[in-house]
Each structure stands twice: as C-alpha cells, then as structure tokens.
Structure 1
C-alpha cells in the first residue's frame, strides 16, 4: 500500500521532511499544507529592483554538515557564496567597537581583548573568572547568561553574549540553556575545563580555517524551490490545518483554505509549524499531557526585518554589521551591511542593509506599523553614518512567534514529547526550530531525522 503523508507547514523543516520522505518512501503520496501564500517559512527571498534580497534567515553555518550536505544533494553547490573579511562591530556607549578577537559566542578566551568594551573595573572583574571555583556536573545544563554573569560580570553578557545570540534567538541568554546553545562549551566543561575562559580557549583553538557562514547566490528561494520540486509533493498554499484526529491507525486533518474546507487523510504526519500552532494540534489529537506541559513552557519571540537599498553616497562603516549591546538605549537589535558582508552582492546600484527589531518580552517596538519601523531603520542608519540615507527601495517583513527560547534541559523535554507522541500518536512527528534548536542546519537535521523515523516505522 502506498503511504499517504501530510506535512503541516511549508517552511524549511516541512519541506526538508517531505524531501527526505520522498527519498526513503519513493512511492509515498505527500501533501504539504502551508497556511500562507508562499513556501519557505523563515526563509524569504524578496525581489528588489536590483535583485534578490533576504528578508528572513540570511546565512547558515558552513562548518555544520546538515545544510552543506543538503545543498550538495540538491545540486546547488555552484551557488554557494561566503562572506568577505569584514567583521561586525558592537554598539555600546554610543560608539562602535570592533568585535573582540578570540571569542566563542561572546565568551572571551582572552579577557584582555575586551578592553574596548569594558571599563577598567569591569575588565578586572572579568579577569578574575579564572580564579573562581567552578562547580559543574558533567551532562548538566544551566542558563548560559546567568553563568556568564556570575563568572565574568553582567557587562560581558550585555555587550557580548546577548548581542551575539540576539539575532538567532531574540531572547536574553539568561533564558537559554548552555548545552543547547553552545554545545561545544558544555562538552569542554564535561571534559574537565577548570573555568569558562579555559573552555572558550579550547574551542577557539579547535576552529578550522575557512569561512564560517555560507549563503546562496540567488537567495534561499533556490533551496526552497529545489526542496519542493525534488520532493514531488503536492503543495497546497493558503491551506491551514485546524485540527488533527487519530482515526484507527490513520489520521484525519481538517483543513481550511481558499477553496473552502476539506479533510486530508494520512498514514503519517509531520507537524512543522511554530510551537503556538503545533501544540494545540498535537495535544487535542492525543490528549498528550507531557507534551502539553513541555510545549506550553517554550516561549517564542516575534521579530521584524526592515530591508533597504540606499544610495551609495551614504558612507557606511567599514564593518559587516552592528550588534547592539542590551544596555544600549536604541529600538533595533542589529544591523547588517549586507552588501559589505557579502562581496557577491556589492555590485548593486545601492548599499543593501538589513535592520532587525524584536526581543522576547519587548513587544512595544513591534507594535509600530511598517512605516514607523522603516523610519526607525533610517534613523538608525543616519545616526551610525552621520548623514541621512537616500532610500531607493525598502521592504518590511514580520515574523510572528518564529523564534523559540531554548532553555536549560530543552533536549530532555523534547525527548519526553517524542516519547509520548510515539506512544499516543504513532506516525506523527514534530519538527522545527523548537525541537533541536533554531538555525538552518538544526532545522534540516531535525526534519531529516524525523522523516527517517517515520519511514522506518512504515517499513517495519
């Protein structure tokens, strides 16, 4: 019998799961249900008059194999591009300070490198980290920001760790689990590193040469289109799954869309939507007490990106972008000088710039309309560059509940969710940024692993 598979959500995770299932179960009939008018989720390549521009995720970590391997499989290697040599600056105290060398996700391997960011007293406090006794239980997990603050002082969190992580998680590091967010650091501590400085130094020494990040010339739409095409799935946009029910050994999905309401029948189901939408589908379908508690405890943040092309008369800082210290009183959290960062985009008529807004529990800025956000972005550029930009083109893209706060013990909670799903809703898998972590490689890895589990179950 040919399996029928329903994938709820046409973002990166859902499309990757559909692609992998088409490989493992080549006779499967796969349907992707996407509530919006477009595929891609947090990957969104828009068309500016001068060419494509990313309004969502911009790049992936090239040193992780998940994304690189998928790009190779899909025949997109020739489109890979890497950033130039410019590094970011940190906005603190009203000035731009180059990102210190020798840091690992904001953790210093040499405290002396932080002299431009910290006062004399703050620097002395950070330098005492190596003298503090460290209590660490191998295999354990703690809030990253709290540990760093205790050992280096709160200034290191506000001016290094939080700015580094803010663009990925949109959440303060005080709510992020060390093991999930910086797994290499946890592993170094498991191996017996005597302090955080030594652990960071070990990780910095292990860095491989070569570019850290990569993107695609032509935008992430190349990846989205290739996944949809290669999966052979029937893709239905403007199709919202409103309910999931188990009917014997199969599943019934209630769907509403432009054509009215209908029911999709499926043997296997992949749920690949943000937690606020996934949780009610799963918990009402199977009365999942553990999953309900675990998923409702995952907080999510919204964000917005203002993408601009501005006249080249504007004198941009000679940096790849700006990360904002959390003790800096400005409404934005980061600026990427996109055409400075990516050499293959630097031939456009104007400078490409992205201004990011939105942190967890800070919704006042996002309550502003698109015009107000655009004015804030233009004002931020004017303040940094010393003159107002002449804007050639602009787009605003908002992301609702798109970024999950990955707290301590997150992997244990997700393992419990999956165990309950296997027991109560066999043949249903949950994937996405709230499972194995946010970021393109993590989402790809989560989706492929879930698809392989479903294929193995069907073949048993």
Structure 2
C-alpha cells in the first residue's frame, strides 16, 4: 500500500525534500503545498527592461556538492556557469579596496594583504593575535574577532561578509553556527590566523584548488525552482500554490493537515509531513503537537532586505570595469550594503545582452527595518546616490529598475542558536523539519536540509515496518 507525504513550503528546501522522496521511495504519494503564487522562495526571476534576471539569490557555493549535485540530477550540468575573473572589493573609509584573498569570513591569512583597507595600527593589532586559551561555549563572531584580532577586523572585514550572507551583525551572530571552523579554533585555543592560513593553503594546493567557488545557471539561478517544479509534477507530485496551511494534528499513526481559506478549510490525512516553512509558521503548526520545538522556533528572529536592480543602456561604464562589485561595512555612511555588477560578474549575461548593463544593490540589515520603509522610488534613488559616491561619478539614468523586497528573508543565528533549537531535532514520529532556520542559509545547505528531512521520514517508515515484522 502506498504512503503519503505532505511537504509544506515550496522554497528550495521543500522542493529538495519532495525531490528526494520521489527518488527514494517508489509508490509514495507526495503533495507540495506553497502559500504564495510561485515556487522557489528566495530564488526568483523577474523582467527588468525586457530581460528575466535574478532578483533573489544569484549563485550557489560550488565547492559544496549538494546544489551542483541537484543541478546534475535535473539534467542542467551543461547550463551551469561561473563568475568571470573580475574580483569584488570592500569599501573602507570611502575607498574601494580589492577583496583580500585567503580569508575565512573576513579573517585574513596574511595581515599585509589588508594594509590600506586597515590602518597601520590596525594591521599591527591584527598581526599580533591575542589568544587566551580555550573558549568555552558559544559566542558571537564579532566578540571573538574583537578579542583576538581587534575591532577593526570585525568592523571592516567580517561585518560586510557576514552581512552579505545573513543580513545581520557580526556581534550578534553565533560563531558556532555561522563560522564553525573559527569556533573550533576558539574552543581549542588555536589562533584564528592559523585557520585562515590553512584554508588559504588548501585553496591553493588542496583537491579543490583551481575549481570555481561559485556557480549559477545560464539564464539565472531562478530557473532552478522552475525546472525542479516541472520535473516534480512530471514525477507525479501534486504541486499546489496559493495554499495556506493553517493547522496540523495527529490522527492515529498519521497527520491531518488543514489548509485553505478560513471559510472553506480542507482537511487531508497524510502518513508523514515535512515542514519546510520559516521558523514562525513552523512554530504555529507545531504549537500543539511539539510545544518545546514550537517555543524554540518562535524565538528565531529574521532580517528583511531589498534588492534594487538597475538596467543601463550600453556597455558597462568605465567605473564598473575590472570589478564584480563591492561590499559595504556598516561603519560607512551609505544606505546600500553591497552592489553586484551583474554584467561584469556573469559572462553569460554580457554575451546574451551586449547592449545592456545590469547591476544591483542590496539594502537592509537586521534591525534596520526603517531603511526599508522607504518607497521603491526612494530606494532606487538611494542606490544610485551611493553607487555614484563609491564609483566616483553619476551613473547614466537607468532604462529600467526593479525593487524586490524580501520581508523576513534571512534567519538570524543568535548566540546559542544550535542548543536553543535542539528540541526541533526530536519531533514526533512522522514529522520532519528543514530550511534555512536550522543549519545554514545558503542554497547547498537548504538542499541538504530538505533531503535530510525526507530521509528522516523514510527512515521512520523503515523502522516501523521492521518493528511490525
């Protein structure tokens, strides 16, 4: 007799969970329920000046196998593409400095590589790391780096990199969760500089030396959920968008999922449920069936942000040439926190649209929601002003613009995050959870999380079958 699973949430984690269920279990009926009108979560393509372009995540970490492995399974290997050779920069004291090579989340392997970006006194403090023995327990990334290497390293190197990943602040984010290699060094009393040197040596001479760090798809990474959703439907998965899930309750050995408008709630029974929703809606669904897990998830905070995309007529202006963009530390008097020169960064985009230049800027860090209360036009104007300030001149008037707001887009890994969410790892049988709130916000981590949740469900069935003899 076939078994049924509901996957709640159609972001990349939920899509990966549904895909794993299709591959691993013949005869399993899978229903994927997504509250919005489309699949993909923070992966999205939108028309900007007649071109469909990423307005969410634009790349995956290629040196982790999960995302590129999924692209291979979907038959997309031939369409995988990588950034061009131009590197990024960091803005420090109003000047763009080349991104130092060989860093671990901003901790440099060679202090001399950041001279200029940091003052001579700041470099001297960095070079003379202060270790005080093993550090027990979790602490923030910023507090660790402050104590070991000096606050300037946190403010001008770590902050912009962490903001690019989490839209958060270094002195609030858990080092155990966000940068485990630095956490391990702290717990063992080893120098952080040694960790960075080892990582730089591995990048130069290790098994992944010479391989691209990041990858995307020709046509944009937003194609991934489109292709995956299509192949899931072809495999028999029932995909239902615009479906708000309102309740979850136990029914014997299975689960009843309530969904739909309040005046027409639909109740459906499933043998298992995968929860691939953000922390707050997951907490609401678990409130009655797993109260400890629900309480833990209710305390997870999220950061909001916006992506401003600009389309310029003509080839890239001279100020954009030779760079793929820049990061902005919060110490700088700018509204934007980063800019990507998309046409320079992605050769496929330059080849496909030689008469247009695309670039984008990101706005918003955790706790800075006031910035995002501006209108779309005001955000575009702020982005243009900041770009002009950093690049040393006004850009041409855009031919087209687009503002994509990601409200509550990125979970914040506060100090103690891992231990605080321990109850979510022990849900009642037949339930599993996945997503960015748990073990990583990057796409490879979300793919891994989704597939792991599917295996939890499958393992539960196998163990129950064995017990029944």
Q: Identify whether the pair has TM-score above 0.5, normalized to the shorter chain.
A: yes
Q: CA deviation at 1:184?
A: 3.0
Residue correspondence of structure 1 range 3-152 to structure 2 within 5 A: 3-129=3-129, 132-136=130-134, 140-152=137-149
Q: Counterparts in 2 of 1:264-279, with a 5 A limit?
A: 264-279=268-283
Q: Does 1:446 align with 2:468?
A: no
Give the superposition deviation at 1:257.
4.9
| Partner SS, residue 434 of structure 1 | helix
CA contact (8 A) 1:338 1:354 kept: yes
Structure 2 CA distance for aligned equivalents of residues 133 and 151 of structure 1: 6
In the TM superposition, 1:137-286 aligns within 5 A as: 140-187=137-184, 194-207=190-203, 208-231=209-232, 232-257=236-261, 260-284=264-288, 286=289
Supply the RMSD in Å over aligned alpha carbons: 2.0
8 Å CA contact 1:311, 1:391 repeated in 2: yes
Q: Please state how far the C-alpha of 1:300 moved relative to its aligned partner.
A: 0.9
Q: Which residue of the other structure, out of 334, 340, 344, is the alignment partner of 2:344?
A: 340
Contact 2:49 2:401 (8 Å CA) reproduced: no
SS in 1 for 2:128: helix
- The answer to whether structure 1 residue 429 and structure 2 residue 432 are counterparts is yes
Q: Distance in 2 between matches of 1:80 and 1:257?
A: 40
Kindly provide the CA deviation profile for residues 148-193 of structure 1, in whole angstroms up to 9, marking residues without a partner as x: 0111111111111010111110111112222322233334556x57
CA distance in 2, matches of 1:159, 1:409: 25
**Is the CA contact 2:122–2:152 (under 8 Å) kept in the aligned structure 1?**
yes
Structure 2 runs not aligned, ≥5 long: 204-208, 464-469
Deviates more, 1:295-304 or 1:351-360: 295-304
Structure 2: how far apart are the matches of 1:283 and 1:111? 50
Cα distance between partner residues in 1 of 2:350 and 2:279:
37
Q: For the Cα contact (< 8 Å) 1:193–1:199, is it kept in 2?
A: no
Look up the match of 1:369.
Answer: 375
Counterpart-to-counterpart distance in 2, 1:201 and 1:296: 39
8 A Cα contact 2:66 2:448, kept in partner: yes
**TM-score calculated relative to the size of structure 1:** 0.93
Moved more, 57-66 or 177-186: 177-186
Aligned-partner SS, 1:377: helix
Q: Is the 8 A contact 2:6 2:274 kept in 1?
A: yes
Contact 1:81 1:217 in 2 (8 A): yes
> How many angstroms does 1:214 deviate by?
0.3
Partner of 1:316: 319
Q: TM-score of the superposition, structure 2-length normalised?
A: 0.91
Shift of 1:64: 0.4
Indicate if the aligned counterparts of 2:274 and 2:434 stay in contact, CA closer than 8 A: yes
Instruction: Specify whether residues 224 and 264 from structure 1 end up closer, same or farther in structure 2 by C-alpha distance, changes over 3 A only.
Output: same
Once the two structures are TM-superposed, the CA of residue 18 in structure 1 deviates from its matched residue by 0.6
Indicate if the aligned counterparts of 1:45 and 1:54 stay in contact, CA closer than 8 A.
yes
Equivalent residue number for residue 299 of structure 2: 297
- 2:459 paired residue number: 456
